[in-house]
């Protein structure tokens, strides 16, 4: 296992955010954590990357215990994160943002820079634009590209689809698959469960700080409970969409523009 978290508990003051989460990510996988608001997905990621400290439990990465390692040192062992809300440095240009991603590295980052521009041609067009003036989708690309600059072994993505138009969500998810194919392990936190389950190999379902279910992603797409809770339930074409999604997982992401994306409570309103 590349990354293992074992029974971690995390508190915000006296409030327990994580009440014993155990999960693991193997080399080369895409693993997703899904769950509603407040389930502890983001906290789990922040704990892995060192922004939050553990109350108890252990995090092991690449064979070593990193439970009490400072956040900035975890970058060096190979954990890269695109944080929630993207965390772009608004006053820096696109290129400066990307180079910040390689801050901890001592060697020349030009190869990774070229790779980031190749992966996101959009960023290459906007090299000298200030990060804060870019659109949400571009910022998300920048956040992912920046995290890759440190050559991470595992890439933690915190809701890459948040606030993006369906077309862009599609594009971002295709790129995540591409990143994975090139050898980076991905741990993906998503509210957009439909999309996340379609590209992931395995998934954990989180509820109020606990793992309530874990299974291969394809199985969860069919799981009636999960569908009821996170995939909008059986609303007419929901079933068809779920099956279609399952078929396409693993292969090239099929164009899904004709289908409603991620039926969620928003659609009902």
- If the CB atoms of residues 121 and 269 are measured against other proteins, the closer one turns out to be 269
Contact 125, 57 (CB under 8 A): no
Contact 240, 259 (CB under 8 A): no
- If the CB atoms of residues 90 and 224 are measured against other proteins, the closer one turns out to be 90
Bridge partners, residue 158, by sequence: 189
CB of 86 to other proteins, least distance (A): 8
Burial class (CB in 10 A: 0-12, 13-18, 19+), 14: exposed
CB of 36 to other proteins, least distance (A): 17
CB of 103 to other proteins, least distance (A): 5
CB of 170 to other proteins, least distance (A): 19
- If the CB atoms of residues 72 and 243 are measured against other proteins, the closer one turns out to be 72
Residues at the site binding other proteins, with contacts judged by CB under 8 A? 49-51, 70-73, 75-76, 80-81, 83, 87-92, 100-101, 103-105, 130-133, 146-147, 150, 266, 269
Bridge partners, residue 21, by sequence: 8
Distance CA 117, CA 31 (A): 25
- If the CB atoms of residues 146 and 201 are measured against other proteins, the closer one turns out to be 146
The dihedral sign for the CA sequence 247, 249, 251, 252: positive
CB of 121 to other proteins, least distance (A): 23
- If the CB atoms of residues 188 and 211 are measured against other proteins, the closer one turns out to be 188
- If the CB atoms of residues 29 and 158 are measured against other proteins, the closer one turns out to be 158
Residue 98 main-chain phi, psi, to 5 deg = -65, -40
CB of 198 to other proteins, least distance (A): 24
Per-residue exposure over 64-96, b if at least 16 CB sit within 10 Å of its own CB, e if not: eebbebeeeebbeebbbbbbbebbbeeebbbbe
Bridge partners, residue 61, by sequence: 3, 64
Distance CA 205, CA 226 (A): 8
- If the CB atoms of residues 46 and 201 are measured against other proteins, the closer one turns out to be 46
Closest CA to 93 of 54, 139, 158, 38: 139
CB of 238 to other proteins, least distance (A): 22
């Amino acid at each position: 296992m590349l990354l293992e978290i074992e029974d971690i508990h995390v508190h915000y003051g006296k409030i327990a955010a994580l009440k014993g989460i155990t999960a693991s990510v193997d080399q080369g996988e895409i693993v997703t954590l899904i769950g509603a608001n407040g389930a502890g997905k983001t906290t789990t990621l922040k704990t892995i990357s060192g922004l939050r400290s553990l109350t108890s439990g252990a995090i092991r990465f690449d064979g070593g215990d990193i439970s009490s390692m400072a956040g900035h040192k975890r970058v060096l062992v190979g954990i890269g994160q695109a944080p929630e809300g993207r965390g772009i440095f608004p006053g820096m240009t696109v290129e400066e943002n990307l180079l910040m991603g390689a801050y901890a590295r001592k060697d020349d980052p030009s190869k990774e820079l070229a790779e980031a521009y190749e992966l996101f041609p959009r960023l290459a067009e906007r090299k000298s634009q200030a990060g804060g003036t870019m659109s949400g989708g571009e910022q998300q690309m920048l956040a992912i590209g920046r995290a890759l600059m440190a050559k991470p072994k595992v890439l933690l993505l915190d809701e890459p689809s948040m606030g993006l138009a369906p077309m862009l969500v599609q594009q971002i998810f295709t790129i995540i698959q591409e990143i994975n194919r090139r050898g980076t392990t991905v741990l993906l936190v998503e509210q957009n469960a439909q999309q996340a389950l379609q590209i992931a190999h395995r998934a954990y379902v989180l509820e109020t700080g606990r793992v309530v279910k874990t299974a291969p992603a394809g199985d969860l797409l069919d799981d009636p409970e999960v569908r009821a809770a996170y995939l909008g339930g059986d609303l007419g074409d929901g079933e068809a969409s779920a099956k279609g999604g399952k078929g396409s997982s693993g292969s090239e992401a099929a164009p899904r523009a004709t289908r409603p994306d991620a039926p969620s409570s928003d659609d009902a309103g």
